A and B are shown apart, each in its own frame.
Chain A
Amino acid sequence: MRDQAVSSGHSRRDVLRFVAASAVGLALSDAVAAAPDAAPAPRGVSGSLRSAGALTFGSGDVLFVGDIAGAKIHAFALRDSDLTPQSGVELGNFHNFEGRDLVVGLDQKIAALLGTTTDKIVINDLAVHEPTQQIFFSVERGRGTEVIPAIVKVNHGRLEILELNNIPHSQISIPNEPDSRAMLEFEPQQTYAITDLKYYKGEVFVSGITNQRFASTVYRIPYPFNSNMETCTVEIWHPVHGEFETRAPIIRHLIRELNGEPYLFGVYGCTPLVRFPLSALKAGAHVRGDVIGELGYGANPLDMLIFTSPADSKDYLLVTIDTRSASQIAVSDLATAPPGPTGGSIDFGPGGLGRTQRALPIKAEHIAILNAKWAILIWRHPKTTHRLDLSTLALPYFFERKDGMSEMNWPNGPDPFHYGEHRREIDSVGHL
């Protein structure tokens, strides 16, 4: 690249084209050449990430990142300077189901921050750091072989890069990752090498597929990382497909104690809800999960979480699904639900807890719980065709009033839910 010095003069908004050349020396002034450490290393702020997928927080401000391209789980021990309490951020009118947009045009803003346009941006996952209520995204810039990963955070509505290169970091490799050339019928197997990860009592639980015959795998990885990783394989009877499945992976999972015993609950594509006692997920074990719900055929789960309802103080499982309403199931039912039958003919369901699930009006690409009253979601605004927004949504009905047209919206319209009485009650993140 041959550089051209451009005098600012009065020529404004000139579009300059620089011609290709090679000499680096020409490019750098003496001042920079004398200080070689000044230039950041390639991928500097991405640290040792090669890709950025599933995200979750562990205890002690540790952010775990699933890195499929690198076949690793990374742990970044965030420092106080990496985290900013989000006190004062306005979340919406809770009583009246009116959320707020925290970042309008999230994809466009992430693209601008990374020096590109939205067509070259993918937002893979989000996670909330509960103590500060700060929101983090795993993002990738670029396509094909030139992908650059990044972790982006929201600070009072502004987006910032989490500079990973200076954060205390450890990593562990995932064994037997699928061959990068191995294909499923429609996409590379590697896409599913790490589907989800969650932290529970000193261990990271990772789901995904391997290159082994029983590909569907759960890893238990002690944190701080050491070599005592336990790998087990899992299978289910998939009622909608009428077959045992040993290769299709758990897409989303979480861990929850019920009656004193911890379980891993997983949800698969097309859409069985499955229960595994953690005690069974041991090194070398091949475990058949109990299918306790069939949530609806032809759908793909997006996120899975548990929230406490501010209405009745009970805990509920929430599974968001790409092509259907989100599914809400009482946590108290998860332990007691009998396992569905194994074997038999194809059954399109819904079955088990799928029959009593409650449909919630959530249309989110990603969702997470922010605090006791609010969830946050990334969604495509209905009145635009192209824009992703980051917004809040009130628990437990996950209903956004301001997007709907109804009689109540007219001046002097009816007010059966007493919205008028609560119009001034705006929530914000309190002092943290």
Chain B
Amino acid sequence: MQVISRPTIHVNSDPSQHGPGSLSVGCLGPDLLACLRRSVRPGEVLKSIFRVTVAQASLPEDTGLPDVSGRYQLLGDEVQFFPHFPFERDMKYRFSFDPRSIGEILTAEPFDLEFLIPSEQVECPLTEVGHIFPSSDCLPENLLRFYVCFSNPMQRGLALEQVSLLDSDAQPVADALYRAPLELWDRSMQRLTVLLDPGRLKRRVGPNVALGPPLKAGQRYTLEVGSGMTDMYGRLLHMPLQKHFIAGEPVRKHVSTDTWTILPPAKGRREALALSFPAPLDWALLFHTITIRSTDGSIIEGQVGVDQSETLWRFIPASPWTEAEYYVCVGSSLEDVCGNTITGAFDRSLRKGPRLVAEGEAASLTFRLV
């Protein structure tokens, strides 16, 4: 009686590496093993007998999709396949075993088998929109941008479809949001920047002349983030989020540090220094455009917080305040919610004549400890 060999397959995952790691095939049968050991070019022979392909690829097989690139080894009585690039989770692969290609009569039978390695169980809570900035529910007519902050890292590609600006009748406001060719995510993929069309904000340029500003003072609007956004684990949002607001008068002047109030901390403690602004400033920029320096110019380390609808900036130093006097240094890239900077308004006359770009100097304020 002839004994039929029944190879077994293990998919091996090594969590210390980038992703699932290798495939091993055992129980090959003595005649196949002997044949493989005799082979002059075992790598080539293994490649023709044990094939790994992407099972969900879209080209029909007869157009010659290549096998998954990898390295084969005969180790003991097992064949190992190490993909050159880690197996992807949730990707369906096909393992094909066909010993007939080596031209010897063997007892093993060919077979195909599909496998996939599912995503790791995601234990973190469902993703939701944590906050939309600016926080205020009354925003200037010439608002430049929103920040949509998610509780987990997200995937690209759905913002255009899922983020919309609606009018008071819940109808989309046409051409109000800028359709960025590349979605504007931060490095952590948790913060999406949504711009209103700058061409409609800037007066007297083409889109503004043709369509007017995207928002109109006195009207009610809703920025809606649909639950179809997917997080990095492939999950939909827990629920959609709507931010309702009313458009107010436009702001078309530069950000003046003269109007800020400094609330100085007490000497010898780690009390917060606070800056209070008459109107909201850009939430994201507030975190890295204002620095505190000592009189010798060195930067004071500490933690920044933004509060009261982005009209209050707090700084808690890493160690207690020791000197009598410090500087608040404001970078020229700080903007308010309309894109106005400390060097000029977003919507201002074009520079006249040919001259090299001069970047505005940063503003500096001084405060004394109480």
Identify the A interface with B (CB < 8 A).
1, 3-20, 22, 24, 27-32, 35, 38-40, 42-45, 104-105, 108-109, 111-118, 120, 141, 143-146, 148, 150, 158-161, 163, 180-181, 183, 185-187, 191, 213, 235, 237, 243-244, 246-247, 342-344, 386
- Contact bitstring B171-183, A, C-beta under 8 A = 1, else 0: 0000000001110
Known: A8-B113, A105-B63. A213 touches B359 (CB 8 A): yes
A187 CA / B59 CA spacing, docked (Å): 33
Q: Which 9 A-B pairs have the closest CB atoms?
A: A1-B13, A31-B76, A343-B354, A27-B12, A31-B75, A112-B65, A115-B68, A187-B182, A45-B84
Bitwise, B210-247 to A at CB < 8 A (1) or not (0) is 00000000000000000000001000000000000000
Residues of A within 8 A of B66 (CB): 109, 112-113, 158-159
Most buried by B among A11, A45, A113, A243: A113
User: Once the chains are docked, how many angstroms separate the CA of A235 from the CA of B356?
Assistant: 10
Kindly name the residue among A17, A43, A114, A120 whose own CB sees the greatest number of chain B CB atoms within 10 A.
A114
Bound state CA distance, A266 and B88, in angstroms? 40
- Chain A interface: which of B21-29, B257-265, B361-369? B21-29
Of A43, A109, A144, A150, the residue contacting B153 (CB under 8 A) is A144
Residues of A within 8 Å of B71, CB to CB, are 40
* Chain B, residue nearest A5 (CB): B8
For B354, the chain A residues whose CB sits under 8 A away are 237, 243-244, 342-344
CB-CB contacts below 8 Å: B285-344 with A:
none
Q: Are B12 and A6 in contact, CB atoms less than 8 angstroms apart?
A: no
Q: How far is the CB of B294 from chain A (nearest CB, A)?
A: 24
Complex formed: what's the CA distance from A20 to B334 in Å? 47
Please name the residue on chain B nearest to A247 by beta carbon: B357
Given A3-B11, A27-B10, A116-B54, do A244 and B356 touch, yes or no (CB 8 Å)?
A: yes
Docked Cα-Cα span, A183 to B97, in Å, equals 50
- For B158, list chain A residues within 8 Å (CB): none
The answer to whether A29 touches B113 (Cβ under 8 A) is no
Residue of A nearest to B66 (CB): A113
B6 partner residues in chain A, CB cutoff 8 A? 7-9
Find out whether the CB atom of A183 lies under 8 angstroms from the CB atom of B189: no
28 A-B pairs whose Cβ atoms sit less than 8 Å apart in the complex:
A1-B117, A7-B6, A7-B27, A8-B9, A10-B111, A13-B114, A15-B92, A15-B114, A16-B114, A18-B116, A24-B15, A27-B14, A42-B86, A43-B18, A45-B84, A104-B63, A112-B66, A113-B68, A113-B69, A114-B68, A144-B153, A148-B85, A160-B69, A181-B186, A181-B187, A243-B354, A244-B356, A343-B354
- Check A115 against B88 for contact (C-beta < 8 Å): yes
Contact yes or no, B84 A39, CB < 8 A: no
Q: Are A117 and B56 in contact (CB under 8 A)?
A: yes
Among residues of B, the one whose C-beta sits closest to the C-beta of A28 is B12
- Chain A residue nearest to B178 (CB atoms) is A186
| B64 / chain A contacts, CB cutoff of 8 Å | 109, 158
A187 contacts B91, C-beta separation under 8 Å: no
Q: A27-B12, A104-B63 known; A14 and B356 CB under 8 Å?
A: no
The distance from the CB of A110 to the nearest CB of chain B, in whole angstroms, is: 9
Interface residue? B57 (CB, 8 A): yes
A108 CB contacts on chain B under 8 angstroms: 57-59, 65
Report whether B356 and A246 are in contact in the complex, using a CB–CB cutoff of 8 Å.
yes
User: In the assembled complex, which residues on chain A have CB atoms less than 8 Å from the CB atom of B153?
Assistant: 144
Chain A residue with minimal CB distance to B73?
Answer: A38
Which residue of B9, B85, B184, B351 has the most chain A CB atoms within 10 A of its CB atom?
B85
Judged by a CB distance under 8 angstroms, whether B202 is at the interface is no
Per a CB cutoff under 8 Å, which of A3, A14, A117, A145 touches B91? A117
A143 with B156: CB separation less than 8 A? yes
Q: In the complex, what residue of chain A is closest to B5 when comparing beta carbons?
A: A8
Cβ of B14 and Cβ of A115 under 8 Å apart? Answer: no
Bound together, the chains give a CA A401 to CA B86 distance in angstroms of 42
A8 touches B54 (CB 8 A): no
B155 interface residue (CB < 8 Å to A): yes
**A6→B57 contact, CB < 8 A:** no
Chain B residues near A45 (CB-CB < 8 A): 69, 84-85
13 additional A-B pairs beyond A31-B78, A32-B80, beta carbons within 8 Å, are: A6-B8, A16-B11, A20-B121, A27-B10, A29-B24, A29-B75, A109-B64, A112-B53, A112-B59, A115-B93, A181-B186, A187-B182, A246-B356
Q: What are the residues of chain B within 8 A of A120 when measuring CB–CB?
A: 88
Kindly provide the distance from the CB of B150 to the nearest chain A CB, expressed in whole angstroms.
Answer: 13
Name the B residues within 8 Å of A163 (CB-CB).
84
- Residues B69 and A161 in contact, CB atoms below 8 Å apart: yes
Q: Which residues of B contact A118 (CB under 8 A)?
A: 58
On whether the beta carbons of B76 and A29 are closer than 8 Å, the reply is yes
Taking the nearest CB of chain A, how far is it from the CB of B18, in angstroms? 5
CB proximity of A234 to chain B, nearest CB, Å: 13
- Contact between B54 and A186, CB atoms less than 8 A apart: no
The minimal Cβ–Cβ distance linking B333 to chain A, given in whole angstroms, is 10
In the complex, which of the residues B112, B121, B356 has the most CB atoms of chain A within 10 Å of its own CB atom? Answer: B356
Pick the contact of A144 from B57, B73, B189, B351 — CB < 8 Å? B189
Within 8 A of A (CB), among B181-198: 181-182, 184, 186-187, 189, 193, 195, 198
Residue in B closest to A286 when the chains form the complex, CB atoms: B356
